[in-house]
Amino acid sequence: SEMCIRDSLQFEPHFARHTYEKNGQIIHPGDVVINMHIPSCGPLTKEACMDSFRQAEQMFAPLFAGKPVPFMCSSWLLYPEHRNILPPTSRILGFMDFFDIVDSGTSDTGNLWRIFYTDDYSDLDRLPQETSVQRAYVAMLKRGTPAGFGTGYFFMKDGEIL
């Protein structure tokens, strides 16, 4: 297995692609948001995520002049179908819970390499099935449900998600 050092999630200013409203806060397409990238290794625990979010909020707060900091993520991790295929204890579902998912779509095999570490999906039975996510994805693909992604947002203020 590959070794990987993962300090935290990665964040950068980006432009919103959707209108998103929550608790009186609103962003529109083109507004600045903090986009996050999730390295493909390391534990995705709620505690580790909140720690990363809080660090990013502090770092980027000056951009938003005291208003809540909007975060955005577009990832295979936010694919709504996960609610149907993963167990309630799944860390992926825990990660999804941070976000209001406003858009999603299918992507054929776009991100499957992050799950299976291969680009050959010609024989589903030959894909690794060592993790619960791998097993859930093989079953999903065999049913004819494609892989996909979601885009989600949340606002953060004073270390808490609004």
Stronger pLDDT, 159 or 111, i.e. the higher one = 159
Over residues 139-146, the mean pLDDT reads 95
Is the pLDDT reported for residue 119 higher than 90? Answer: no
DSSP alpha helix (H) spans, the chain: 46-60, 82-85, 91-96, 112-116, 132-142
Least confident of 1-10, 36-45, 139-148: 1-10
Over residues 47-57, the mean pLDDT reads 92
pLDDT single digits (tens) 2-27:
444 445 688 999 999 999 999 999 99
Task: State the average pLDDT for the chain.
Answer: 90
The pTM (predicted TM-score) of the whole model is 0.90
pLDDT single digits (tens) 70-107:
999 999 999 999 999 999 999 999 999 999 999 999 98
Q: Determine the Cα–Cα distance for residues 151 and 90; give it in Å rounded to an integer.
A: 19
Nearest in space to 99 (alpha carbons), one of 79, 81, 119: 79
